[in-house]
């Protein structure tokens, strides 16, 4: 059995599709592309697809991940192209590797988000970000199926900063851009929780809903302060046999 790991996107209007909507679209794409899927056992077999940490409905993403199990080996890049052609524009399969290591979900420990706040001045955003970063804790509330839950939105945030908007914007309306790096903790701290925190500490309330996009997710590197590519270990494992020292291989026992 071969396992393939895929990175896909949610762009444009497709950011408003739910995770269940994507699952249905992806399973249709598997059938159209005639992928030799492995199926679960039991009375209602399902294709073996493992989804990892999907973005909330309404947010865009450049870094969603899943893993599929196949009954016959396929070239990952050719499979990626077939699936991409079978999905609607906006749900794009942009990377594929053969799974050669374990624990993809365990490598998704942090996310990088971009929050575009239309109608918010840069100075107001700077002031709110400073207040949030200086706070020891920022309590926010979220409605759950068990009622309202209060939790700290500050502890999970590794980095929150503002970015300047390009000078050649097509409109004169202000738009502040925030870059957020947040750890995946329990309870999960989402971008909308951070926006609630900015409202709590600095009364920052964008006049229209923020446009939120996940730019990356993976392991957080403490030394560099970056979120690393979770598929890199599989690529490195695939290259290892070809990059090994030929002399060392010749000395290896038969």
pLDDT value for 145? 81
pLDDT value for 254? 41
Q: With a threshold of 0.85, does the pTM exceed it?
A: yes
Evaluate whether 198 touches 129 at the Cβ level (below 8 Å): yes
Strand 211-218 relative to strand 110-118, pairing: antiparallel
What are residue 115's DSSP bridge partners? 178, 212
Residues 6+ apart with CB under 8 A from 206: 117, 118, 119, 120, 195
What is the C-alpha to C-alpha distance for residues 22 and 44, in angstroms, rounded to an integer?
A: 20
Please classify residue 221 by burial: count the beta carbons closer than 10 Å to its beta carbon, then call 0-12 exposed, 13-18 middle and 19+ buried. exposed
What is the C-alpha to C-alpha distance for residues 188 and 34, in angstroms, rounded to an integer?
A: 36
Peptide bond into 187 cis (omega under 30): yes
Task: Print pLDDT tens along the chain (254 aa).
Answer: 999 999 999 999 999 999 999 999 999 999 999 999 999 988 888 999 999 999 999 999 999 999 999 999 999 999 999 999 999 999 999 999 999 999 999 999 999 999 999 999 999 999 999 999 999 999 999 888 888 889 999 999 999 999 876 655 566 789 999 999 999 998 899 999 999 999 999 999 999 999 999 999 999 998 888 999 999 999 999 887 654 455 444 444 44
Dihedral over Cα of 29, 32, 35, 41: its sign: positive
pLDDT value for 241? 64
pLDDT value for 250? 47
Among left, alpha and beta (phi > 0; psi -120 to 50; other), residue 246 is alpha
Cα–chain center distance at 74: 25
User: Helix 191-202 to helix 122-134 angle, to the nearest 10 degrees?
Assistant: 90
């Amino acid at each position: 059995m071969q396992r393939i790991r895929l990175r896909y996107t949610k762009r444009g209007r497709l950011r408003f599709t739910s995770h269940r909507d994507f699952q249905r679209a992806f399973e249709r794409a598997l059938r159209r592309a005639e992928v030799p899927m492995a199926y679960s056992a039991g009375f209602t077999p399902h294709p073996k697809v493992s989804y990892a940490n999907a973005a909330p409905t309404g947010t865009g993403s450049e870094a969603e991940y899943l893993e599929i199990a196949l009954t016959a080996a396929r070239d990952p890049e050719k499979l990626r192209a077939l699936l991409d052609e079978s999905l609607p524009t906006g749900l794009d399969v942009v990377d594929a590797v053969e799974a050669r290591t374990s624990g993809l979900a365990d490598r998704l420990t942090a996310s990088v988000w971009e929050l575009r706040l239309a109608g918010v001045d840069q100075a107001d955003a700077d002031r709110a970000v400073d207040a949030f970063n200086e706070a020891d804790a920022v309590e926010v509330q979220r409605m759950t199926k068990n009622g309202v839950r209060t939790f700290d939105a500050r502890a999970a945030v590794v980095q929150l900063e503002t970015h300047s908007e390009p000078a050649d914007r097509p409109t004169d309306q202000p738009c502040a851009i925030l870059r957020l790096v947040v750890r995946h903790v329990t309870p999960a701290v989402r971008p909308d929780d951070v926006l609630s925190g900015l409202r709590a500490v600095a009364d920052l309330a964008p006049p229209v809903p923020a446009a939120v996009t996940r730019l990356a997710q993976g392991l957080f590197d403490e030394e560099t302060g970056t979120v690393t590519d979770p598929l890199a270990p599989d690529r490195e494992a695939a290259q290892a046999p070809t990059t090994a020292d030929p002399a060392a291989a010749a000395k290896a026992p038969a």
